[in-house]
Amino acid sequence: MSITLPKVRVPYLLLFPGFAFLFTFFILPIVNLAQTSTQTPIPGGDTGQYEQSFAFSNYINAFLDNRDQFARSFVYATLATIFALAIAYPLAYAIAFKSGKFKNILLVLVVAPFFTSFLLRTIAWKQILGEEGFLVPTLRSLHLMGQQTTITSTAVAVVAGMTYNFLPFMTLPLYASLERIDPRTIEASGDLYANGITTFRRVTVPLSLPGVVAGTLLTFIPAAGDYVNASILGSPNTKMIGNVIESRYFKIVDYPTAAALSFTLMAAILILVTLYIRKAGTEELV
C-alpha cells in the first residue's frame, strides 16, 4: 500500500512534460503521417509539393507495387526471430542455471559485443563473409562451396545479420524470465517422474514464456522495419520495405507513398503483435 499523498494533481504534473513531448514529437507526427499518406502531387507543382486529396488509392498502389518487399520484410524478420530464439534460449538457460559464480560476468559478456557500433559490426560481418574475407576462399578451396556461390549479397546474409544484431533483445528478456524460475520447481518435476526433456517442456518453457514473448517482440519489431542489414549485406534482390521507404523519402521524394508504406508497416506490425500477445496469453509487457 502506498502512502496517500495530499494532492491528486501530483501524478499529472509529473506526466505533463514528458507526455507533452511525446504528444508533439510522436503522436502528432504519426497523425501528420496519416494525412500525408493520402496526398497527391499538386498538378504542375515542384517535386515534393503535395496537396490533400484523400487518395486512399495511395495505399493500394503502394502495397501492390511493393508486395515482394513487404513479404520479404515479414519472412526475413520471422526467420531472424526464430533463429535468434534458437540461439539465445540455450545461452540464456546456461547463464541462468549452469554458470554458478560466473553468472554476472557471462551476462556482461553476452551484451558486450553490442557496445561496438551496430554498423561496424554489420560491416565486419560483410567483410568476414565477403569475397576477400577468410571464410569464403577457405570453403571454396575445400570444395565445400561452389566457386560461383557467395554468402554476402544473399538473403542468407541479410537474415544472418539481423539475427546477430537483434540477439541481445532476445537474450536479455529470456534470461530475466529464466532467472526468476525457482530451481526447486525443476527438481520437483524430476521428483514427480518427469525426465529431463519432459521437465523442460512442461515446466521450464511455460515458466519462461513471458521472456519468450517479450524477446520475440523486441526482435521482430525492429527486424521488420530494418533496412540497414539489407542494404549492407544484401543485394537489390533482398530489398525490404524499409529500403523502399528510405528511397521514397530521400531519392524519389515521394512523401505520400513513403507515408502510406510506413503506415501499412506499422499497422501490420501492431495487428501481428496484438494477435501474438493474445495467443501467448500474456500482457505483462505493457
Partner 1 sequence: MGRGFPKGTRQLVSIDPINARGDLRLTRITKSYGDFNAVDDLTLTIPKGSFFALLGPSGCGKTTTLRMVAGLEEPTVGSIHLGDTDITTTRPYQRPINTVFQNYALFPHLTIFENIAFGLRRRGVKDVKEQVDKVLNLVELPHLAERKPTQLSGGQQQRIALARAIVNRPALLLLDEPLGALDLKLRRQMQIELKWIQREVGLTFVHVTHDQEEAMTMADTIAVMNEGKIEQMGTPADLYDDPETAFVANFLGQSNLIKGKIEGNDGDNLVIDLFGQKISMPKARSHAVDNSLYAGIRPEKFRITRTGSAVRGNTLTGGRIEDVSYIGVSTQYVVAMPWGQELMVFEQNDDGVPPFNKGEEVVISWEPSFTFGLRGDEDVEAGTEVNPEETPE
Partner 2 sequence: MSTKIKDATIPTIPFKARLSRWFGRNLLRIYMIFGFTYLFIPVAYTFAFSFNDSGKSNLIWKGFTLNNWKNPCGAPEVCNALGNSIKIGLLATTFATILGTMIAFAIGRYQFKGRSSSNLLIFLPMATPEIVLGASLLSLFLVFKINPGFWPTVIAHVMFCISFVVVTVKARIASLDPRLEQAAMDLYANELETFRRVTLPLVAPGIAGAALLAFSLSFDDFIITNFNSGTLITFPKFVYVAAARGIPAQANVIGSSMFFLALAIVIAGQLVNRKKAR
d(CA 281, CA 283): 7
Q: Choose the binding region for partner 2 from 52-60, 138-146, 184-192, 267-275 (rule: CB under 8 A).
A: 267-275
- Binding partner at 155 among partner 2, partner 1, none, C-beta below 5 to 8 Å by kind: none
Residue among 1 and 64 whose Cβ is closer to partner 1:
1
- Helices 103-111 and 67-98: crossing angle, nearest 10°? 160
Residue 227 within binding range of partner 2, rule CB under 8 A? yes
188 makes contact, choosing from partner 2, partner 1, none, with CB < 5 to 8 Å by partner type, with none
**Residue length, the chain?**
286
Q: How many CB atoms lie within 10 A of CB 273?
A: 16
Scan residues 159-198 and list those touching partner 2 (CB under 8 A). Answer: 164, 167
Cell of 228: 540497414
Tell me, by CB under 8 A, how many residues bind partner 2.
82
Integer Cα distance of 265 and 252 in angstroms: 19
Sites for partner 2 among residues 92-111 (CB under 8 A): 93-94, 98, 104, 106, 108-111
Is 183 a residue that touches partner 1 (CB under 8 A)?
no
CB of 236 to partner 2, least distance (A): 15
DSSP letter for 39, please. Answer: E
Q: Segment 5-44, which members bind partner 1 (CB under 8 A)?
A: 6-8
Q: How far is the CB of 122 from partner 2 (least distance, A)?
A: 8
Q: Looking at residue 4, what DSSP letter applies?
A: P
Q: Is residue 124 near partner 2 by the rule CB under 8 A?
A: yes
H/E run at residue 74: helix 67-98
Quote the CA–CA distance of 261 and 59 in Å, as a whole number: 7
